[in-house]
Structure 1
Amino acid sequence: MSRVLMLLLLSVALTTVAVAADAPASPSAKAGTASAELHRFFDEEWERGLRESPETASYRGDARYNDRWSDISLAAIAAHQAADRDALARLRAIDRAALPAQDQLSYDVMAWQLEKAVERQQYREYQRAVSQRGGVQTAEGIAEVLPFATVKDYRDWLARMRGIPAQVDATIVLLREGMAAGNVPPRVLMERIPGQIAAQVVADPGRSPFYRPFTRFRDGVPQAERAGLEAEARTVVASDIVPAYRRFAEFFETEYLPATRETIAAADLPGGSAYYDFLARQFTTTELGAEEIHAIGLREVARIRGEMERVKGEVGFKGDLAAFFEHLRTDPAYFHETPEALLEAYQAISKRIDPELVKIARTIPRLPYGVRPIPDNIAPDTTTAYYQPGATDGSRAGYYYVNLYRPEVRPTWEMMALSLHEAVPGHHFQFARGLELPGVPTFRRVGYFTAYGEGWGLYAERLGYDMGLYDDPLDRMGQLAYDMWRAVRLVVDTGMHAKGWSRQQAIDYFMDNSPKTLQDVTNEIDRYIGWPGQALAYKIGQLKISELRARAEAALGPAFDLRDFNDAVLVTGSVPLETLEQHIDAWIAGQQTAKGAVGG
């Protein structure tokens, strides 16, 4: 029975009950009915999302689909898109006015997500099925979040390994459709992919990235089973995986790479500038256009340069800001010599931060986090660090992944700001607090709006001042460098995708205004080319949260408590910025009533 039919039958049943009672339903009864219907809808949509994306289920810690990949056939994609349109229609049929306030918030968040999902269908992003950041060529990366604690876990992984040829073939179909439609990525990015594919084409099956889980077993896997699992994995690598990736390499290098485009702008894709405008609105959760965002970026760059000049004077550096940047990029004193030393330093910084968290928050998440290296096969082509959320049920901790590739380009002065952003009180606080929110549907507990999430992460970098962690002026320079990094993004992202900037022009602008190394800057610029609009969300989100903090401080005066404000920002879970602003305004009014506080 379809979900639509189920809701129709439910509607008929409820109507029949009301008529039989020969009396109108009370407001509380209407609210109860609408709320029950809404939560059934949320539950069904959550389950649909996990079925359609087994990888998402695995990342959430739900093992039911660990033996399969997403169906990325054209028929399945069409079915998923139709289901999104159907879901939006079903949601709109629920009486929002009859819902209690918390359910109205959940309704609005889900409506925003579905509306954007339906709107973006016209741009057929699935036709660009690989990027330098990932795709079928790095599919084994999901093993990082799988438990591998029982024989079944290994059997599930073997099933996924056997599914790689079908995933490769389906990816080729999508890419060929993109070629026919002129919907292809920039060649400068795709030139990174052959090396990633080559890492999968191994002569010794034991050196396959897919084989890594079989190099170590936990106690839950009986000794008698291990040799058989290892042998089966070697066979699958040799007979299924390696031939599939050889086939993919042949297609990619002879057909696809020559068909990719020389240009870099999102405006050159099907849909033109409207596509980039959509991405800017979707990622920032605002109505800001490219010109407005570009202007905000220029203002922020100028402001931060002034603060950098002050730090340069404080440390007594003789020379202009460009020379100071070069000093920070190249002086060996600012770099660790080995990956092992760099990892230990990241771990030490994380432990230094932990006891200071009580200064900026009343609620500390229960879920722990750890520090891990980014896998070697993707480290050269990815960012300095990232955060992987814990499992929804709390069975897996969150992890702060750090890039140990070429430690000679990973400066120590950036490590504090980076750790505050990616671990605590940044993304780990945000995601772990979300998982602990009481009385909200699962999609909100694990939801992620880039402007909110990355805005909080960037705002968290500045919380280092409130925590007393920037006593070293070079650490403060690191915070300014990271603030500048996100301000520069506003300029270069809009510059490349809406104003005709070249890749080299963007790299030069970044290098002129930031002490980040050329390795990082090049990877960042390529990320913005391959993920248009996403980088705009960080600074826009940070500016909004900072604006709301200033508003609260002015309104509450001496009664303002930073811990309460930060908790109020996190208590909604991830939401669009407009929703956050409405919530904080209501929180300020409530604080004024409770404390009798009036600011100056």
Structure 2
Amino acid sequence: MKLGLLAGSIALIFTLQGCSKPEATAVQENSQANAVAEQGETQTAEQRYLALVDAYFKDYLKLEPIYATFVGVNDYNADFGGDLTEDYLKARHDLNTHYLAQVRAIDPKQLPADLQLSYDLFVYDRDMALVDETFPSRFMPISQFYSTVITMVQLGSGESAQPFNTVQDYRNWEQRVDGFIKWVALAENRMNQGIESKVVLPRVLVERIIPQLDAMLTTDATQSIFYSPIQHFPESFSEQDKAELTARYQAMIAERIVPALTDLRDYFKQTYLPKSRATDGWSGLPNGKAWYQHLANSHTTTTMSVDEIHQIGLSEVARILSEMDKVREQVGFKGDLKAFFASLSSEPQYFYSDRQGLIDGYMVLKDKINQVLPNYFNVMPKADYVVKPVESFREQSAAGASYESPAVDGSRPGVFYINTYNLKAQPKWGMTTLSLHEAAPGHHFQIAIKQELTGVPEFQRFSGYTAFEEGWALYAEYLGIEMGLFTDPYQYFGKLSDEMLRAMRLVVDTGLHSKGWSREQAIQYMKDNSPMAESDIVAEVERYMAIPGQALSYKVGQLKILALRARAEKALGDKFDLKAFHDQILTSGSLPMAVMENKIDRWIASKQA
């Protein structure tokens, strides 16, 4: 992640915090659901289902206006929302319970096969959302890795989903900022409740948040990242419009944004930091082990126990270490594997000496990968992607790389972010596998193709499951072997190194949150089993501390996709077509593992028939 996201990847998976409309419950406020119910008597099951999920999506966008902006619906660009208010929490609950009851009144057997898949997806989403609301995540609304604050900075920079094409767009952003200012005060109130309930962040994460906020504060409004849209006015703007907006934005930054963020920074330093916890994992929270098991199930979209995931991780780490040692022998390195790690992590020939050189290297690699993609895919995204460095304000705590999806309307390409803060954390031998994962055919293919789908319900186009999305991206790294992109043993080692990261995550994430591991123990485990730079390892471990369970999804998802491919190859023999298999995976949107398995089984049966 994609993030920042995460992401969360942070692919970005559009589970944004701080994006809601609190005035009334969604069902009370909106007539969509009532209209569907009135028409239900005269409609077929298919018509009823499509009308129902369309009504749900419209209601959801009203409840989550920033999410609406990200999916290209610009009706709510001036709204911020209030996911921390009691009104919002009730509205979210009512939305999910109402539509879950409505959809269960439809017999899925009366739907065509593709909508049976969609039905399962919709029910799964509502069920998981209702379980999720039983845990007090609202008491920890901000982390160093992912938060509404980071999202707002990215939106306000003018380089994300928030449009700045018209004068009204600029005024919409001013109004959205007003909502954000209120949210900051709400966040402090919720964190105070967390202090009372002992649901607080680990101390080290709070120590990471404070300098992030410091970096956003400036006494010169023109130096703020929020001023960037003023420096990039559309040519169509009149001089009067430019002058008025410039004055308004300078005042907005100096009189509203900076004071609010200063207050938030001071709150973290003076109030929250002294009350933060010494424990590093979720098991240090009230009911933390049950909460973590839910998060593990939610992110992997499986019912696997935390202990089972931990054991898979240990097994995968051992297997990959053996493969790494074979590479060491192949290149003729005389020392042991740890010495090989040290060499690859320190010798100058394995690194770029300047930031732009790293970005340029990824652009060359993009062209190389693009040449072979048509041999493995029938369906490819229409949208392109660009390579950019991570913004300076978050580069010290951001992941090594992440992906941001293209604009739904095609007006903005996807973004493959590279963290250029520490060039020793970006070895040349890791570039091929990282590009395959974050860009093409990894996140860029899966997310862009999903957004470009036609003939599927809107909620399905924009749903996101980490295990599917990250599992696909890790599968894309594996596919690089078949594409002939790892003939260089050092690049193949890079592939193993990244796979090792995902295997270690199964061990470390579960270790931190269910087995009492400390941050230092997790860091040492990763140092002992990989050539990663220590700064990268620290950022990774602190990311797992901030968003528990998310890191489990990569390896679990990849193993499921590989297992389904092996099942299809065995069942179909000569009839198996890899391009067609990839079509099946990519052309229904993001799916929970069980729903995807059902789809592949039906595809196999149809081919056998």
Which SS does the other structure have where 1:122 is aligned?
coil
Q: Which residue of the other structure, out of 92, 96, 102, is the alignment partner of 2:114? A: 102
CA distance change for structure 1 residues 4 and 389 in 2, over 3 Å: closer, same or farther?
Answer: closer
Which SS does the other structure have where 2:236 is aligned?
coil
Q: Give runs of aligned pairs for residues 74-473 of structure 1, distance below 5 A.
A: 74-138=86-150, 139-143=152-156, 144-145=159-160, 146-473=162-489
Q: Deviations over 1:488-527 (max 9, x none)?
A: 0001111111111111111111111111111111111111
Per mean C-alpha deviation after superposition, the further-off stretch among 423-432 and 570-579 is 570-579
CA distance change for structure 1 residues 561 and 8 in 2, over 3 Å: closer, same or farther?
Answer: closer
Please name the residue that 2:69 is paired with. 58
Q: What is the rounded CA distance, in whole Å, between the counterparts of 1:390 and 1:457 in structure 2?
A: 17
Please name the residue that 1:42 is paired with. 53
Please name the residue that 1:555 is paired with. 571
Contact 2:216 2:393 in 1 (8 A): no
Q: Deviations over 1:555-593 (max 9, x none)?
A: 222332222221221122211111111211222222233
Q: Which residue of the other structure, out of 29, 44, 54, is the alignment partner of 1:33? A: 44
Q: Which residue of the other structure, out of 539, 546, 555, is the alignment partner of 1:523? A: 539
Q: What is the rounded CA distance, in whole Å, between the counterparts of 2:267 and 2:320 in structure 1?
A: 47
CA distance change for structure 1 residues 4 and 93 in 2, over 3 Å: closer, same or farther?
Answer: farther
Q: Deviations over 1:177-205 (max 9, x none)?
A: 21122111111111111111112221111
Per mean C-alpha deviation after superposition, the further-off stretch among 409-418 and 363-372 is 363-372
TM-score normalised per structure 2 = 0.91
Contact 1:556 1:588 in 2 (8 A): yes
Contact 1:133 1:381 in 2 (8 A): yes
Contact 1:359 1:466 in 2 (8 A): no
Which SS does the other structure have where 1:400 is aligned?
strand
The one-letter code sitting in structure 1 at the alignment partner of 2:155 is I
Q: What is the rounded CA distance, in whole Å, between the counterparts of 2:486 and 2:498 in structure 1?
A: 14
Q: What is the rounded CA distance, in whole Å, between the counterparts of 2:35 and 2:352 in structure 1?
A: 66
Q: What is the rounded CA distance, in whole Å, between the counterparts of 1:69 and 1:504 in structure 2?
A: 39
CA distance change for structure 1 residues 4 and 480 in 2, over 3 Å: closer, same or farther?
Answer: same
Which SS does the other structure have where 2:290 is aligned?
helix
Q: Deviations over 1:373-402 (max 9, x none)?
A: 221111111111111112233333222111
The one-letter code sitting in structure 2 at the alignment partner of 1:375 is E
CA distance change for structure 1 residues 501 and 10 in 2, over 3 Å: closer, same or farther?
Answer: closer
Contact 1:290 1:498 in 2 (8 A): yes
How far residue 430 of structure 1 moved from its aligned partner, in angstroms, is 0.5
Q: What is the rounded CA distance, in whole Å, between the counterparts of 1:497 and 1:335 in structure 2?
A: 34
Which SS does the other structure have where 1:366 is aligned?
coil
Which SS does the other structure have where 1:399 is aligned?
strand
Q: What is the rounded CA distance, in whole Å, between the counterparts of 2:557 and 2:462 in structure 1?
A: 18
Q: What is the rounded CA distance, in whole Å, between the counterparts of 2:400 and 2:35 in structure 1?
A: 53
Per mean C-alpha deviation after superposition, the further-off stretch among 459-468 and 359-368 is 359-368
How far residue 5 of structure 1 moved from its aligned partner, in angstroms, is 8.0
The one-letter code sitting in structure 1 at the alignment partner of 2:153 is E
CA distance change for structure 1 residues 191 and 360 in 2, over 3 Å: closer, same or farther?
Answer: same
Q: What is the rounded CA distance, in whole Å, between the counterparts of 2:562 and 2:86 in structure 1?
A: 44
Per mean C-alpha deviation after superposition, the further-off stretch among 306-315 and 174-183 is 174-183
Contact 1:164 1:244 in 2 (8 A): no
Count of aligned positions: 578
How far residue 11 of structure 1 moved from its aligned partner, in angstroms, is 5.0
Q: What is the rounded CA distance, in whole Å, between the counterparts of 2:68 and 2:413 in structure 1?
A: 16
The one-letter code sitting in structure 2 at the alignment partner of 1:556 is L
How far residue 89 of structure 1 moved from its aligned partner, in angstroms, is 2.1
How far residue 473 of structure 1 moved from its aligned partner, in angstroms, is 0.9
Contact 2:408 2:452 in 1 (8 A): no
Q: What is the rounded CA distance, in whole Å, between the counterparts of 2:40 and 2:538 in structure 1?
A: 60
Contact 1:4 1:90 in 2 (8 A): no
Q: What is the rounded CA distance, in whole Å, between the counterparts of 1:159 and 1:278 in structure 2?
A: 36
Q: Which runs of 5+ in 2 are unaligned?
A: 1-26
Q: What is the rounded CA distance, in whole Å, between the counterparts of 1:547 and 1:500 in structure 2?
A: 32
Contact 1:164 1:240 in 2 (8 A): no
Contact 1:556 1:591 in 2 (8 A): yes
Q: Deviations over 1:521-549 (max 9, x none)?
A: 11111111111111111101100111111
Please name the residue that 1:70 is paired with. 81
Q: Which runs of 5+ in 1 are unaligned?
A: 18-31, 594-600
Q: What is the rounded CA distance, in whole Å, between the counterparts of 2:354 and 2:606 in structure 1?
A: 52
Please name the residue that 1:21 is paired with. none
How far residue 44 of structure 1 moved from its aligned partner, in angstroms, is 1.8
The one-letter code sitting in structure 2 at the alignment partner of 1:327 is S
How far residue 4 of structure 1 moved from its aligned partner, in angstroms, is 9.4
Q: Which residue of the other structure, out of 541, 546, 557, is the alignment partner of 2:557? A: 541
How far residue 485 of structure 1 moved from its aligned partner, in angstroms, is 0.5
Q: What is the rounded CA distance, in whole Å, between the counterparts of 1:11 and 1:572 in structure 2?
A: 27
Per mean C-alpha deviation after superposition, the further-off stretch among 321-330 and 199-208 is 199-208
Which of structures 1 and 2 has the larger relative contact order (alpha carbons within 8 angstroms, sep 6+)? 2
The one-letter code sitting in structure 2 at the alignment partner of 1:116 is M
Q: Deviations over 1:47-84 (max 9, x none)?
A: 22222222212212222222221213233233223322
The one-letter code sitting in structure 2 at the alignment partner of 1:121 is E
Please name the residue that 1:578 is paired with. 594
When Rg is computed on C-alpha atoms for both structures, the one with the higher figure is: 1
Per mean C-alpha deviation after superposition, the further-off stretch among 396-405 and 70-79 is 70-79
How far residue 3 of structure 1 moved from its aligned partner, in angstroms, is 8.1
Q: What is the rounded CA distance, in whole Å, between the counterparts of 2:29 and 2:307 in structure 1?
A: 43
Q: Is 1:567 matched up with 2:583? A: yes
Please name the residue that 2:17 is paired with. none
* Amino-acid identity (%): 40
How far residue 242 of structure 1 moved from its aligned partner, in angstroms, is 1.4
